[in-house]
């Protein structure tokens, strides 16, 4: 099955993976063309996707000139309704798009686990993924956690697969905020602490609870702490 991704930020697009995993299990390997918007700046994104079992080919739109045979779009532009308790609302949008537009018969893979290499060193400090200062989406503040010097911050100039492996290999919970790398950690089943500020409390006019439900599987080990209440003692 050949798909054209219609353009989403990294976090929203990553939330399509449980849906794409379900399509893979029903129809076989997928070929994907990614829209080269802000995702082209995420070093190693194609390699991360190809490390999963889902895809046999991943290209950016500027790399694939012949879109003949790419009959299906991958989009989250649909309703967010859900019949399940824990499925993220953004994942539901991708699910509903495929069901409503193509009548595909599949089950969303709510047990999807993002695969990353497990070799490499274990970091002694708590690893932190802050909101990237190069993020195109400026509706939320960037680098809100940089004042916490007791954390080891990810280097986003390194490939995302390398950073994901560093997160997974740590024996400690991952510290992050509402951003794409937090979604990745959640899909890895990594114990995660989400630090949030007041800008998230009324995101899109939603309640804070709905904002959390939109982006994460809340039945995985995840905890939310307001930034004013976060300090090193929270980790003891």
Span 29-88, pLDDT tens digits: 999 999 877 787 889 999 999 999 999 999 998 888 788 878 899 998 887 777 788 999
DSSP at 128: E
Angle between helix axes 17-27 and 89-102 (nearest 10 degrees) is 40
Q: Are residues 52 and 147 in the same domain?
A: no
Confidence class of residue 11 from pLDDT cuts 50, 70 and 90?
confident
Share of the chain above pLDDT 70, in %: 94
Is 89 inside any structural domain?
yes
Separation between Cα atoms, residue 144 and residue 197, nearest integer Å: 8
Confidence class of residue 140 from pLDDT cuts 50, 70 and 90?
low
Confidence class of residue 141 from pLDDT cuts 50, 70 and 90?
low
Best CA proximity match to 197, nearest among 143, 123, 126, 116: 143
pLDDT for 134 = 57
Question: Per the structure block, which two tokens stand in for 47?
Answer: 């390699």
Cβ atoms of 94 and 19 within 8 Å: the answer is: yes
Share of the chain above pLDDT 90, in %: 66
Please state the domain count of the chain.
Answer: 2
Q: Are residues 150 and 224 in the same domain?
A: yes
Q: Are residues 162 and 76 in the same domain?
A: no
Q: Are residues 195 and 98 in the same domain?
A: no
The burial of 126, by beta-carbon neighbours within 10 Å (0-12 exposed, 13-18 middle, 19 or more buried), is given as middle
Is 119 inside any structural domain?
no
Separation between Cα atoms, residue 172 and residue 221, nearest integer Å: 12
Q: Are residues 68 and 155 in the same domain?
A: no
Q: Are residues 164 and 225 in the same domain?
A: yes
Q: Averaged over 170-174, what is the pLDDT?
A: 95
Q: Are residues 134 and 97 in the same domain?
A: no
Check whether 139 has a pLDDT greater than 70.
no
Q: Are residues 98 and 186 in the same domain?
A: no
Cβ atoms of 168 and 50 within 8 Å: the answer is: no
Enclosing domain of residue 49:
2-102
Q: Are residues 156 and 229 in the same domain?
A: yes
Check whether 176 has a pLDDT greater than 90.
yes
Cβ atoms of 150 and 125 within 8 Å: the answer is: yes
Q: Where are the beta strands (DSSP E) in 71-111?
A: 72-74
CB-CB neighbours of 170 under 10 Å? 19
Q: Positive or negative, the Cα torsion across 15, 19, 23, 28?
A: positive
The burial of 148, by beta-carbon neighbours within 10 Å (0-12 exposed, 13-18 middle, 19 or more buried), is given as middle
Separation between Cα atoms, residue 108 and residue 85, nearest integer Å: 13
Q: Are residues 138 and 190 in the same domain?
A: yes
Q: Are residues 149 and 98 in the same domain?
A: no
Is 121 inside any structural domain?
no
Q: What share of the chain is helix, strand, coil (3-state, %, to 5)?
A: 35, 15, 50
Best CA proximity match to 103, nearest among 18, 24, 23, 35: 23
pLDDT for 123 = 86
Is 111 inside any structural domain?
no
Is 50 inside any structural domain?
yes
Q: Are residues 160 and 76 in the same domain?
A: no
pLDDT for 42 = 87
Q: Can you tell me which residue has the tokens 């939310």?
A: 224
Is 81 inside any structural domain?
yes
pLDDT for 66 = 81
Q: pTM of the predicted model, to two decimals?
A: 0.92
């Amino acid at each position: 099955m050949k798909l054209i991704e219609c353009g989403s930020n990294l976090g929203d697009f990553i939330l399509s993976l449980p849906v794409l995993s379900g399509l893979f299990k029903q129809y076989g390997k997928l070929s994907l063309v990614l829209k080269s918007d802000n995702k082209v700046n995420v070093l190693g994104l194609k390699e991360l996707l190809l490390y999963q079992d889902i895809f046999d080919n991943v290209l950016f739109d500027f790399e694939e000139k012949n879109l003949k045979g790419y009959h299906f779009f991958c989009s989250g532009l649909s309703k967010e309704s859900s019949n399940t308790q824990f499925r993220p609302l953004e994942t539901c949008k991708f699910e509903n798009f495929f069901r409503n537009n193509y009548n595909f018969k599949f089950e969303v893979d709510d047990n999807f686990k993002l695969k990353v290499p497990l070799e490499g060193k274990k970091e002694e400090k708590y690893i932190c993924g802050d909101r990237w200062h190069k993020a195109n989406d400026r509706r939320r503040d960037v680098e809100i956690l940089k004042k916490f010097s007791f954390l080891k911050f990810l280097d986003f100039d390194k490939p995302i697969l390398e950073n994901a492996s560093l997160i997974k290999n740590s024996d400690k919970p991952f510290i992050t905020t509402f951003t794409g790398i937090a979604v990745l950690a959640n899909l890895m089943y990594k114990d995660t602490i989400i630090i949030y500020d007041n800008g998230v409390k009324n995101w899109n006019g939603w309640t804070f609870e709905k904002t959390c439900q939109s982006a994460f599987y809340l039945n995985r080990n995840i905890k939310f702490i307001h930034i004013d209440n976060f300090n090193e003692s929270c980790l003891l």
